[in-house]
Structure 1
Amino acid sequence: MQVGRGSPAVMVRMTVEMKAWFKHKAIDNRRTLNAEILFRLEESRKAEEAKHDKQA
C-alpha cells in the first residue's frame, strides 16, 4: 500500500482519549499517527475479508 501526500485526505473525529491511545501505539510501533491508523484499518480490512472468504 503506497500512501503519500498525493493521497486523498480524510478528516476523522475521535475522542481525545482515543487519539492519545493511537498516539502512544504509534510511538511504541515507531510509526506516525497517520501510519498507525492506516495500519490498523488495513489489518481490520484484511481480517474482515478473510472471515468473509472463509464463510464463502
Structure 2
Amino acid sequence: MEGARKIPTLQVRLPEQLKVWLKHKSVDNRRSLNSEVVTRLEESRAMELSQLQRDSVKRQ
C-alpha cells in the first residue's frame, strides 16, 4: 500500500486473564482486540489529561 499511513507496532505481554477479559470486551463493543486496547488507552490518557488540567486550575 503505497502512501498508506504507517502506524508503529507494539508487542505487549499480558496475563491470560487480562487478555481474555479484553477479548470479551472487544466482542461486546464490536471492535477488534487492537481497537479495544487503543480505545481504552486513549480514554485513559484523556482522563489523565483532564485530571491534570483540573489540578492546575485548583492551584491557581
TM over 0.5: yes
Q: Identity of aligned pairs, percent? A: 43
Q: Take 2:42 and 2:6, find their aligned partners in 1: how far apart are those partners?
A: 19
Larger Rg computed on CA atoms:
2
* Displacement over 2 Å in runs of 4+: none
Given the two structures, how large is their TM-score scaled by the length of structure 1? 0.89
C-alpha RMSD over aligned residues: 1.5
Q: Which amino acid aligns with 1:43?
A: E
Post-superposition offset of 1:47: 0.2
Q: Take 2:5 and 2:22, find their aligned partners in 1: how far apart are those partners?
A: 21
Gaps of 5+ in 2: none
Q: Which amino acid aligns with 2:32?
A: T
Gaps of 5+ in 1: none
Structure 1 counterpart SS, 2:40:
helix
Aligned length: 53
CA 1:5 to 1:44, structure 2 compared with 1: closer, same or farther past 3 Å? same
Q: Which amino acid aligns with 1:30?
A: R
